[in-house]
Amino acid sequence: MPYESVLRDGLFSGCNMVVTGGGSGIGRCIAHELSHLGAQLVLIGRSREKLEAVAAEIGSDGGVAHIYSCDIRDEARVAAVVADAVDQLGAIHGLVNNAGGQYPAPLAQINSKGFEAVVRTNLLGGFLMARECYKQSMQRHGGSIVNISADNAGGMPLMGHSGAARAGMENLTQTAALEWAQNGVRVNAVAPGYILSSGMDTYDADFLKDMMPAFQRSVPLYRMGEEAEVSAMVAFLLSDAARYITGQTIRIDGGSSLKTHSPAWQVAAARNNQPYNGFHRCTRPAVYESVQADSES
């Protein structure tokens, strides 16, 4: 069973697409969809083992994925990886800045080292990747960049370091869109809300199990999102259908960013609401499966 993309087959035939953080979670899903649509993939991440596993999946599905182990915070390594990819494959047509990471903590308990580490991962690394793809390829050939942000509307309690970095990435998206438009480069961002990604399993399981019901109740569509719902928007923004869209941040959050709605309006359980999941190799977070099992017992 192949990936069930809502976009047409062959959409990205002949295109080289770079996906950071492509070894797991949303990045893995994006890589699979872009490959299904005909793109040749360059997967970048810190864990070579994870990248090799995803590349093997893509290969068995008939696609091609090249892998580079790289810490995107390392300026020299990023420049070298992009240079090698351009030398081996030619022009880079699209970049998905997906790599990131954070940990839950109140602001009062975050030290400077922890704050800086999250900002470097979620903001500096994306900047370095975008700059090098632009300078080494897109400045001459044009292209499209999609930055993965997060729903930071109204602040991010317990994730203040990540919220600051994501807000910075959204502003960087606007600046790059303005500066690089003259060379035919579009730059956009997507901001996922509560997505059923394997990234959830990196957090404390007991904390998430307690929070999941609250996550769902805070979403007007009354459910958590699927990885494929993020990937579909990313693929759209990379495609020619989005040629007149740049400098925008699209929120994929079931309406959860509408936190300023009237207190007189209570979000009720949604009806007739079916999630979209075209990812044929989708694996749900273990903590979510545990919560579902508990609710059914």
Q: Is 294 exposed, middle or buried (0-12, 13-18, 19+ CB in 10 A)?
A: exposed
Half-sphere exposure of 224 (CA within 13 A, CB side): 19
Q: Please report, in tens digits, the pLDDT of each residue of the chain (297 residues total).
A: 899 999 999 999 999 999 999 999 999 999 999 999 999 999 999 999 999 999 999 999 999 999 999 999 999 999 999 999 999 999 999 999 999 888 888 999 999 999 999 999 999 999 999 999 999 999 999 999 999 999 888 888 888 899 999 999 999 999 999 999 999 999 999 999 999 987 777 766 676 777 777 777 788 888 889 999 999 999 999 999 999 999 999 999 999 888 655 566 666 777 777 788 899 999 888 777 776 666 666
Strand partners, 145: 95, 187
Q: Domain 16-296 class?
A: alpha beta
At residue 260, the pLDDT reads 53
**Strand ranges for the chain from DSSP E:** 16-20, 40-45, 65-69, 94-97, 143-148, 185-192, 249-252
SS3 42: strand
Radius of gyration of the chain (CA): 19
Sheet of 249-252, strand order: 65-69, 40-45, 16-20, 94-97, 143-148, 185-192, 249-252
Domain boundaries along the sequence of the chain:
16-296
Confidence (pLDDT) at 270: 74
Instruction: Compute the distance between CA of residue 243 and CA of residue 135 in angstroms, rounded to an integer.
Output: 21
- What pLDDT shows up at residue 136? 98
Query: How would you class 132 by CB atoms within 10 Å of its CB: exposed for 0-12, middle for 13-18, buried for 19 or more?
Result: buried
pTM for the model: 0.91
Looking at residue 148, what is its pLDDT? 96
User: CA 225 → CA 67, 177, 193, 221, 274, distances in Å?
Assistant: 28, 28, 7, 10, 10
Closest CA relative to residue 159, chosen from 193, 210, 134: 193
**DSSP H or E segment with residue 83:** helix 75-89
Q: How far apart are CA 95 and CA 98, in angstroms?
A: 9
pLDDT of 244 reads 98
What the block records as the tokens of 124 is 């500096």
Residue 173 φ/ψ, nearest 5 degrees: -60, -45
| C-beta atoms surrounding 202 within 10 Å | 15
What torsion, rounded to 10 degrees, do the Cα atoms 174, 177, 180, 185 define?
Answer: 150
